Structure 1
Amino acid sequence: MHAPYDTHTGPGKGAFPAQSDIEALVRAEHGDPFAVLGPHPDGQGGRSVRAYLPNALRVQLVGWENDQVQADLAQHSVPGLFVGPLPGPDRYRLKIHWASGEQVTADPYSFGELLGETDLYLFAEGNHRKLSSTLGAQLLTVDGVAGVRFSVWAPNARRVSVVGDFNGWDGRRHPMRRRIPSGVWEIFIPGLQAGEPYKFELLGQHGILPLKADPMALATELPPSTASKVAPPLDYPWNDHDWLEQRNQPSLDKPVSIYELHAGSWQVELDEAGEVARQYNWHELADRLIPYIQKLGFTHIELMPIMEYPFGGSWGYQPLSQFAPTARYGSARDFAEFVDRCHQAGIGVILDWVPAHFPTDAHGLARFDGTALYEYDNPLEGFHQDWNTLIYNLGRNEVHGFMIASALHWLKHFHVDGLRVDAVASMLYRDYSRKAGEWVPNQYGGRENIEAIDFLRHLNDVVAHETPGVLVIAEESTAWPGVSQPTEQGGLGFAYKWNMGWMHDTLDYMQNDPIHRKHHHGEMSFGLIYAYSEHFILPISHDEVVHGKKALIDKMPGDRWQKFANLRAYLTFMWAHPGKKLLFMGCEIGQFREWNHDHQIDWYLTQYTEHLGVQTLVADLNKIYRQEPALHQQDCVPQGFQWVIGDDAANSVYAWLRWSKDGDPLLVVANFTPEVRYAYRIGVPLGGQWAELFNSDAGIYAGSNVGNGGAVEADEIVSHGQPHSLSLTLPPLAVLVLKPRV
C-alpha cells in the first residue's frame, strides 16, 4: 500500500488548487468546480487527482477494473481536500473512508460534459419536446458506469449542488458544472439508483436559497415531504394499440361524455367508524372505477390535476411538479397501468393541466435561482391576487418550452387522451381580475397577454402534430373569439371550449321556483344563439358544487320530490342539448352534500330509490346519447338543431329537433313546471308513429310515471311549421325524447 503523500514533498505545487479556489470550495461558492476537482495536470508533466470530500477520513485511488489501491491521496491542511498523483491511465476510482464505512465509486469530476449541444440549444430556444428524458434526474450509464445525470436550469445562480441522503444533504459535496450560455448545470453521480430522494442547493446572488425540488422531477416524495426522487424508466408494456388507432380519427361527430372526478375522494377505504382510513392507489381505483364508468356509459373520465402538488386543499390546481404523478396514489408506472386499463375498457382519460400559475412554496419554482426565473418579476404581471400564486412568464423561451414539454410528457409517455387546460381566461388577459392601475399593458398598450396567446397556439399546433386525435380543452369563461378555431384561421386551436355561459344561465333558470320560470324563459334558450361559435362542452364541474354553491340537487327548488324531478329534467335537457357533456362525480346520484376532498361520495345514498333513480337515468342518458347519432353527430354545426317551440314562456315548455347527418330526427320536449300538460300539440317533420325513447319522469327513475304509453301516432295536422304534429302528455318537471318509427 502506498503511504500518504506529504503535501509539501509529494504532489507538485501545481497539483493544488489556488488558495482562492480552495476558499471558494470550502465556502461552497465555487462556480466552476470541474476546473478544480477531478484529474488535472500537476505542473510537473504528470497528472494529479483532487477531491473535496468534507468529513472523509482517508481517500485512495483504486483501479477501474478492481479494488487494488494505486495511491493514497494526501489531505491538504484544509480538512476534506485530498490531492495525489494519478499513476497509469486516466481511469480510476475513489475509495473513500468514512466514519460509517468505506465507499468505492467513480469520481463525478472525472466525467466530461454530459448534455449535448443540440439539447442545450433546443432548450434555450424553447423547442425541446423531450425535456422529461433530458433534464432532471436521468438514470444513465456513462463510460460504462451506471449512475444518475442531474441537470437543472438556473442561469443566475452562482453555484448549484445536488444534495440528498447519498451525500448527507451537504451542498459542498456535489457542486455542478455550469454549461454556458444555456445556464443549465449538470453532474453525473455514479452508483445512484432509482428511489433516491434529492433536491438542489443553489447559491443566489444574495446567499443560499431554500433547498429546491427539481422542476423536471419524474417522481416525488409523498407530501408533506417535498424532495424529488430519482425515477426508474417508464418501461410499461402497453396494451392499448387498438385504442390509440381509433383515437386518431376526428372526434367532433363522436359522442363525448366525460365523468370528472378527484382521484382521492371518489371512493376511499373506510374504517369501522366510517371515517377515511386511506385513499385507494391506482390499482384499487381502476378495479372500482372502470366497472362503474362502463356501467354508467361515460366515454371519458377527467381527473383533476394529478401532477404533484404540496397542498391537498388545492385539489391539484397548484402543482409544483409538472412532470411527476402525485405519490399519493402510487408510482408513475402504476398510473400508466391505470390509463392502459381504462383504454382496454374503452374509456378515454383526460387530465386537468395547469399552465397558468404555480404556488409560492419555498421549495418550488418561486424565485428559483434567486431571481424571477419561471414567473414575471413585476407582481402586477406575475402574482395572482385571487389565488396567491405566481404566473408563468410564458414569453421566456425556456419557460414556454418547459410547459410544452410537460403537456407532451403526459400525452406521449402516459398515452393520455386529452388535457383540460385550467384557467385559460386568466392567461389571455393581463388585466384578469385586476383593477385599473394593477396591471401592465402589452407592448401595444392592450390588455391581451400576447406571449400566453402565442404559447396556447403553439401548444395546440404541437399537440396536433405530435399526438393526433388528442383533445386539448379550454376552461375559458370570456367571449374571446375563436378559442376552438384552427390557429391558421386566427384561432387558439383548442379542440373544445367549456361553455361556462350555458352552465351559468341554465343553473340560474333551474334555481327559480317553477312559478317564476316564465320570466326567465330566455335563459334556457340563450345558449343556442352562440352554440356554434365554438366547439362546446357543457360542463357541470366541481366548481359548481363547492364553497357554498350547494350540491347540484340542492340548487333545485321545491320539496324533495320536485328537487329530484328538477334534477332529472335538467340532466336530460343537458344530454339532449347540442354540445359534449361533462358531469362531476356525485351529481349522478343526487348527493345533497357539497363535495369535500377529504371525504368520498355518499355512496350509501344509492340504497334509496330517488338517488338510484338519478344514477339509472344518467346511465340511460349516456346509452341513448351514444346510440342515437342525432344526439352527437352534429353537436358543433347548426344543421343538427332545429327549434320547434322556443317561445312558450307561459307554460315553461321547450321543444326542438336534433338531426343526424343522415337526416334522422329526434324530438325533445321539456316541461319545467310541476303541471302535467295534456294534449299538448307539437309539430313534427314525419308522420307515423313516434316512440317515446326517453322520459325523465319514468317510474324506473323514481318519477311519477306520467307519459304517452310508449308511443304516439302523428296527426296530419300542420303545427309549428311542420306538416304533422303530435298530441302529447307532458309529464311534470320532465323532458321527453321521441323518435319516429320507420
Structure 2
Amino acid sequence: MHLIKNALIKDVVDTQCSDPFGCLGLQAHTNKKGLMLTVWQPEAASIRVLAIDSDKLLADMTQTDENGLFFAEWPSLAERFHYRLEITYHSGDRHVMVDPYQFPSTTFVDPEHHQASLYKSQGAIQTRASITKKLSIQGTRFAVYAPAARSVSVVGDFNSWDGRTHPMSSNGDGIWRLFVPDVNHGARYKFEIRARSGDILPHRSDPYAQRIEQYPSFASVTCFDHKHAWQDEKWVTRPITDLYEQPMSIYELHLGSWRRKDDNQPLTYLELVDQLVPYIEEMGYTHVELLPVTEYPFDGSWGYQPVGLYAVTSRFGTPEEFKALVDALHQANIGVIMDWVPAHFPADSHGLANFDGSKQYEYPDPKKGWHPEWNSLIYDFGKEHVVNYLISNAVYWLEEFHIDGLRVDAVASMLYLDYSREDGEWIPNKDGGNHNYEAIDFLRRLNETVYLNHPRCFTVAEESTAFPGVSKPTYMNGLGFGFKWNMGWMNDSLDYIKKDPIYRQHHQGELSFSMVYAFDEQFVLPISHDEVVHGKGSMIAKMPGDSWQKFANLRAFSAYMYFHPGKKLNFMGNEFAQGQEWSHERSLDWHLLDVALHKAQHALSKDLNHLYQNQTSLHYDHSPQGFEWISYDDSANSILAFARFAKNRSEHSIAVVNFTPMPHGQYRIGVPQAGRYQVIMDTDATHYTGSGFASTQIYDTQAVASHGREQSIELQVPPLAGILLRWLGEA
C-alpha cells in the first residue's frame, strides 16, 4: 500500500491535485509487474470493478487507511482495459459509473478551433470516448482556463457538488480539462477552484457556459439539445449589398417588458415568435435590436451587467427557442441586432472577477480595472486570452444564432482611460495620453474578424465622443465599425424639441448643426431606451404644450428623424407615444392604442417606416451628394427645408418641417428641378389627428428664383408638422 502513498495521492485527498491522471485510474505498477487501479470516492463504503460492457466482476477494491481511497491490482495484466465502478455508499445507496480517469486521450485532445472559435473547445463540449471499434461512451469534456489555480474540480448534480470527486487536470498551459462519461444535456455544473493561497473560492460559473440558471444557483447547464432546424437559408444566403445604401429602421426592444401576460410574466421566446414577429413585419421595421440577451443575474441591469456572455438568458426560454425567434424574424425579412457588452462585467462571486484567485479577466490596478460609474470591472484588453474570449464570443453569436449585427455598448468607456474618472484616478498610456491603446487594438481586431468572416453582418458603436474614424475601415486607421450612434444629433434634437415653440427661433442651430458632421461617420440616429428612463420621461412627456400640441410636436419630430440622413432607431413604445416612463418590470401601455392620439402616432410610425423603405431618395444617407440644404436659417419661423437625392440623382424629394404652431399658406422654397411635386407625407393630416391645414397635394414649379435656385414652389406649410414632397418629373 505504500506505493500509492505518494505526493500526488496526498494532493488528491487534500483537493489540490493538478495531475489526477498521474495517480488515479489504471496505472502501471512502479516496482512490479501488472496494473494497479486507484479510485478516490470519499463517501464510498465499498467499490467493485465491473467490465465496461457487462456485469462481469473484475475485482473487489480494497480501501486504504485513507477514507475514500481504494485500490485493486492485476499482477498478470500488462494491457490496459476499460471498466465501470459499482460504488456502495455509507448511506446504503448504490451507483454505477464509468471512471473518467481511464480516458486521458479524450480529456487532453482539444477539438480543433481557431482563436475566433474558442467556444468550440472551451467550456462543456459533448463528445465520445472510444472503447472499442464498435463501442464508445458519450459524455462531456469540461475545459476551463485558470492558470493561477492550484487545483480545479468540476462539480454538479452528477457528483453531489463535491469538489473532491472530479479533480481536473492541467498540462501546464493554464487550461484544466476532464472528460466525464455519462454527463449529457441538461446537467448542472460549476467549477470549484482552489487558489494558490490555498483558499477554495466560491463556485464559478463556466465562462463559456451556453446556459446558466437564474438566482439563487447561477449553475451552468450543459447544452447539447440542438433540435432547432434553421429555415432562414434565403436570408443568410441573400446577396451581399451595400448596407449604407439600404434603408435601416431599427426597433429597439427589451424582451422582458415589450408585452406581458395578465399575471405580469414576460412572454417566452416562442410566444414572441407568435406576437412580436408579425407586429414588427406589419410596422415596417427592417431590424430589431435586442437589449442584451446574454445571461445576467440582476433584472435591473437590463442585461448590461452580464455574467455569461455565451449563454442566452434563461428568463424567456432555452437557446433553441431563442434560435426559433431569430429564425422567424429572418423569415419575415427582419434583421436581428443584439446589444453586446465587452466593455465591463460585474463582480458577482460566480462570475469572472478574481476568477482563479488572480485577475485573469480584469485589469489588476483598479485605476484601470474598476469602472466607477457602473461599479463593474473592466476587461484587460492587453491579455491575449481575454481578447480571444471576447472575439470568440462575437463570432459565436453570429455563427450559432445567425445574429446579423452587434451593437457594441459603451465604446467611449473603452477608448478613454480617464472615462468617468477625476485627475489622479487613472493611469496614462505609454505616451502620457488618455487613449487605451489595448482597447483600440481589440476593437479593430474585432471588426476585422466580423467583416472578414461574415460579410453580411455588421457592427454598430455606441460612442458618444468625437473620437475620429469610429466607422472608418481599419486600413484607413479607423476602428472599423460599420455604424456609429449619432449621439450629438440625439442630444441636440431632443434639447430643441423640448423647448416651447416660442423659444425655438433662438436655437435653430441646434437642428442645423448636425449636417456639419453628418457624413464624417456612418450614422444611426438613436432615440433609445436611455432617453426614456431615469427620470427623463417618455418621448410624449418631453413635448411642450397642450395635449394636441404634444402629439403634433412628436409627429413633427418623428418626420424630421426619418427625413434626416442616417439610419433610424426607436425604442419600443415610441411608435405609439408610450405614456409612462419605461420600466423593465411592466409591459408597455398597449391600452393606449384605444386612444385616438396614440393610435394616430402608431399609424404615423408605420407609415413613416413604409415610406422610408419605398422612397429611394431617403436611402442615400452616407454621402453629402445625397443631401442639399434649401433653407436652414429661417429661425423666425423655425422651419427647416432640405432636399434628399437617390444615388444616381434620378429621384429626389423635399422635406419641410415646421416646428411652430403657426401655419403658412404661401411659403416659397427653391427646388432642385422644374416640374411637379407631390406631397407623400403630411404629419398634420386629419387621419393622424392633425388639423388638415394643407389641402394642396400637387405643386407645379414656377420660374421664380428662391433660395439660390431658378425654380420654386409656394407651399402650404401646416403647423407643427413635417411634409415630404416627391418630384414627379417634368410637368
> What amino acid is the match of 2:85?
L
The two structures have a TM-score, normalised by structure 2, of 0.96
Answer yes or no: is 1:628 the counterpart of 2:629. Answer: no
Shift, 1:100, TM fit: 5.2
Contact kept? 1:59, 1:96, Cα under 8 Å: yes
The partner residue of 1:56 within 44, 47, 72 is 44
Shift, 1:726, TM fit: 1.1
| Matched residue, 1:523 | 510
Contact kept? 2:111, 2:120, Cα under 8 Å: no
Moved more, 286-295 or 22-31: 22-31
| Aligned equivalents of 1:654, 1:100: Cα separation in 2 | 84
Query: Which secondary structure state, in structure 2, belongs to the residue aligned with residue 324 of structure 1?
Result: coil
| Aligned equivalents of 2:462, 2:444: Cα separation in 1 | 15
Answer yes or no: is 1:386 the counterpart of 2:376. Answer: no
Query: Which secondary structure state, in structure 2, belongs to the residue aligned with residue 266 of structure 1?
Result: coil
Within-5 A mapping of 1:626-665: 626-632=613-619, 634-663=620-649, 664-665=651-652
Answer yes or no: is 1:320 the counterpart of 2:307. Answer: yes
The partner residue of 1:573 within 548, 556, 560 is 560
The partner residue of 1:501 within 488, 491, 498 is 488
Deviations 1:450-481 (A, max 9, x none): 11100100000011111112010000000000
The partner residue of 2:538 within 514, 538, 551 is 551
Contact kept? 1:224, 1:310, Cα under 8 Å: no
Answer yes or no: is 1:485 the counterpart of 2:476. Answer: no
| Aligned equivalents of 2:129, 2:223: Cα separation in 1 | 17
| Matched residue, 1:3 | none
| Matched residue, 2:167 | 175
| Matched residue, 1:10 | none
| Aligned equivalents of 1:442, 1:383: Cα separation in 2 | 16
Answer yes or no: is 1:29 the counterpart of 2:16. Answer: yes
Shift, 1:22, TM fit: 3.7
| Aligned equivalents of 2:8, 2:121: Cα separation in 1 | 31
| Aligned equivalents of 1:485, 1:32: Cα separation in 2 | 49
| Aligned equivalents of 1:648, 1:596: Cα separation in 2 | 39
Contact kept? 1:158, 1:204, Cα under 8 Å: yes
Within-5 A mapping of 1:267-282: 267-271=259-263, 276=264, 278-282=265-269
> What amino acid is the match of 1:212?
R
| Aligned equivalents of 2:573, 2:717: Cα separation in 1 | 28
Deviations 1:151-171 (A, max 9, x none): 100000000000011111111
Query: Which secondary structure state, in structure 1, belongs to the residue aligned with residue 237 of structure 2?
Result: helix
The partner residue of 1:82 within 66, 70, 75 is 70
The partner residue of 2:676 within 682, 689, 710 is 689
CA RMSD, Structure 1 to Structure 2 (Å): 1.4
In structure 2, the CA distance between the partners of 1:492 and 1:116, relative to structure 1 (3 Å rule), is farther
Moved more, 441-450 or 453-462: 441-450
> What amino acid is the match of 2:626?
G
Deviations 1:92-144 (A, max 9, x none): 22121233533222211111144667769x7xxxx522222211011111111
Query: Which secondary structure state, in structure 2, belongs to the residue aligned with residue 158 of structure 1?
Result: strand
Query: Which secondary structure state, in structure 1, belongs to the residue aligned with residue 674 of structure 2?
Result: coil
Query: Which secondary structure state, in structure 1, belongs to the residue aligned with residue 570 of structure 2?
Result: strand
> What amino acid is the match of 1:531?
A
In structure 2, the CA distance between the partners of 1:230 and 1:117, relative to structure 1 (3 Å rule), is closer
Within-5 A mapping of 1:413-452: 413-452=400-439
The partner residue of 1:246 within 232, 238, 241 is 238
Answer yes or no: is 1:185 the counterpart of 2:172. Answer: no
Deviations 1:156-198 (A, max 9, x none): 0000000011111111000100121x20000011111111110
Query: Which secondary structure state, in structure 1, belongs to the residue aligned with residue 238 of structure 2?
Result: helix
Answer yes or no: is 1:670 the counterpart of 2:657. Answer: yes
> What amino acid is the match of 1:657?
A
| Aligned equivalents of 1:102, 1:128: Cα separation in 2 | 43
| Matched residue, 1:4 | none
Contact kept? 1:297, 1:623, Cα under 8 Å: yes
The partner residue of 1:45 within 21, 26, 33 is 33
| Aligned equivalents of 1:179, 1:431: Cα separation in 2 | 40
Deviations 1:540-573 (A, max 9, x none): 0000000001111111111111110000000100
Contact kept? 2:12, 2:167, Cα under 8 Å: no
Shift, 1:665, TM fit: 1.2
| Aligned equivalents of 1:118, 1:48: Cα separation in 2 | 28
Shift, 1:689, TM fit: 2.4
Shift, 1:617, TM fit: 0.4
| Matched residue, 2:133 | none
Query: Which secondary structure state, in structure 1, belongs to the residue aligned with residue 681 of structure 2?
Result: strand
Moved more, 22-31 or 569-578: 22-31
Shift, 1:734, TM fit: 0.4
Query: Which secondary structure state, in structure 2, belongs to the residue aligned with residue 658 of structure 1?
Result: strand
Query: Which secondary structure state, in structure 2, belongs to the residue aligned with residue 85 of structure 1?
Result: strand
Deviations 1:617-673 (A, max 9, x none): 0111011100011001x2100000000001000110110000011311100001100
| Aligned equivalents of 1:85, 1:159: Cα separation in 2 | 28
| Matched residue, 2:448 | 461
| Aligned equivalents of 2:204, 2:525: Cα separation in 1 | 40
> What amino acid is the match of 1:46?
G
The partner residue of 2:463 within 457, 476, 479 is 476
Moved more, 82-91 or 673-682: 82-91
In structure 2, the CA distance between the partners of 1:66 and 1:117, relative to structure 1 (3 Å rule), is closer
| Aligned equivalents of 2:673, 2:440: Cα separation in 1 | 48
Query: Which secondary structure state, in structure 2, belongs to the residue aligned with residue 370 of structure 1?
Result: coil
| Matched residue, 2:355 | 368
| Matched residue, 1:141 | 128
* Alignment gaps of 5+ in structure 1: 1-6, 8-12
Query: Which secondary structure state, in structure 2, belongs to the residue aligned with residue 415 of structure 1?
Result: coil
In structure 2, the CA distance between the partners of 1:400 and 1:587, relative to structure 1 (3 Å rule), is same
The partner residue of 1:198 within 189, 207, 228 is 189
Contact kept? 1:708, 1:728, Cα under 8 Å: no
| Aligned equivalents of 2:227, 2:108: Cα separation in 1 | 24
| Matched residue, 2:219 | 227
* Alignment gaps of 5+ in structure 2: 131-135
Moved more, 33-42 or 576-585: 33-42
Deviations 1:298-344 (A, max 9, x none): 00000000000000000000001111100011111111111111000
In structure 2, the CA distance between the partners of 1:406 and 1:100, relative to structure 1 (3 Å rule), is farther
Query: Which secondary structure state, in structure 1, belongs to the residue aligned with residue 412 of structure 2?
Result: helix
| Aligned equivalents of 2:171, 2:442: Cα separation in 1 | 26
| Aligned equivalents of 2:596, 2:245: Cα separation in 1 | 35
Contact kept? 1:376, 1:392, Cα under 8 Å: yes
Answer yes or no: is 1:561 the counterpart of 2:548. Answer: yes
In structure 2, the CA distance between the partners of 1:100 and 1:188, relative to structure 1 (3 Å rule), is farther
Deviations 1:354-399 (A, max 9, x none): 0000001001000000011100010000000000000000110000
> What amino acid is the match of 2:634?
D
Answer yes or no: is 1:411 the counterpart of 2:403. Answer: no
In structure 2, the CA distance between the partners of 1:650 and 1:626, relative to structure 1 (3 Å rule), is same
Answer yes or no: is 1:591 the counterpart of 2:610. Answer: no
| Matched residue, 1:65 | 53
> What amino acid is the match of 1:160?
V
| Aligned equivalents of 2:504, 2:697: Cα separation in 1 | 29
The aligned length equals 717
| Aligned equivalents of 1:611, 1:715: Cα separation in 2 | 39
| Aligned equivalents of 1:270, 1:430: Cα separation in 2 | 47
Query: Which secondary structure state, in structure 2, belongs to the residue aligned with residue 380 of structure 1?
Result: helix
| Aligned equivalents of 1:115, 1:97: Cα separation in 2 | 26
